[in-house]
């Protein structure tokens, strides 16, 4: 599945949220406030920037400087990062999940678990589909947030069931 353009059938399935859609998102939402996530991952500039603005920088942030395919940022500073982080870069064309991107997610997670330092993955191309490998590779109990255009923020708690669901979805396509 990774390393080439995803089949149209799978890309259509992925337009449906993989978790709970939150219209008025805040990290202090009662649904998340009392959860101790082992790792907080944000995918997308809008979600990442919003979390940073709230002072809740993700442990792993995945950005591409675009929102709805319009370039809105020039630098990582534009997204409001205030805490120190390690930067990784990956190429990922639209509609793809490249091996390079999967390796960046894997390396970021391993590094964060090892040393507790936050990571930012700057994607050259499009980061929209990177939630898939993030869910599959993240430890159980991780919380992943990504934007759902014109609907809100999708929250995915990483569970064995969620990983199976994603693997099944990918296998069928």
Asked whether residue 163 is assigned to any structural domain, the reply reads yes
Residue by residue, pLDDT tens for the chain (173 residues) are 677 788 888 888 888 999 999 887 665 665 555 456 789 999 999 999 988 988 888 999 999 999 888 899 989 999 999 889 999 999 999 999 999 999 999 999 999 999 999 999 999 999 999 999 999 999 999 999 999 988 889 999 999 999 999 999 887 65
Asked whether residue 34 is assigned to any structural domain, the reply reads no
- Taking the C-alpha atoms of residue 121 and residue 92, their distance in angstroms, rounded to an integer, is 11
What pLDDT does residue 170 have? 82
What total number of domains does the chain contain? 1
Q: Which residues contact 130 (CB under 8 A, 6 or more apart)?
A: 43, 62, 92, 97, 101, 105, 121, 123
Asked whether residue 145 is assigned to any structural domain, the reply reads yes
Asked whether residue 121 is assigned to any structural domain, the reply reads yes
Residue among 47, 62, 61, 52 nearest 126 (CA): 62
Asked whether residue 2 is assigned to any structural domain, the reply reads no
- Taking the C-alpha atoms of residue 41 and residue 38, their distance in angstroms, rounded to an integer, is 10
Tell me the backbone φ, ψ of residue 56, rounded to 5 degrees: -115, 60
Expressed as residue numbers, the domain containing 167 is 40-172
Q: What is the maximum span of the chain, computed from C-alpha positions, in angstroms?
A: 42
Asked whether residue 71 is assigned to any structural domain, the reply reads yes
* DSSP conformation class of 14: T
Asked whether residue 20 is assigned to any structural domain, the reply reads no
Asked whether residue 114 is assigned to any structural domain, the reply reads yes
């Amino acid at each position: 599945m990774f390393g080439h353009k995803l089949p149209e059938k799978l890309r259509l399935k992925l337009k449906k949220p993989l978790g709970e859609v939150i219209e008025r998102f805040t990290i202090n939402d009662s649904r998340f406030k009392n959860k101790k996530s082992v790792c907080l991952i944000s995918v997308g500039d809008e979600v990442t920037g919003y979390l940073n603005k709230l002072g809740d920088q993700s442990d792993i942030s995945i950005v591409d400087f675009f929102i709805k395919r319009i370039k809105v940022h020039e630098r990582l500073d534009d997204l409001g990062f205030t805490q120190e982080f390690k930067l990784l870069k990956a190429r990922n064309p639209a509609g793809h999940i490249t091996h390079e991107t999967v390796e960046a997610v894997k390396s970021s997670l391993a590094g964060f678990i090892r040393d507790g330092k936050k990571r930012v993955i700057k994607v050259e191309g499009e980061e929209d589909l990177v939630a898939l490998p993030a869910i599959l590779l993240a430890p159980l109990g991780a919380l992943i947030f990504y934007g759902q255009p014109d609907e809100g923020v999708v929250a995915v708690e990483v569970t064995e069931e969620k990983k199976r669901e994603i693997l099944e979805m990918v296998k069928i396509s």
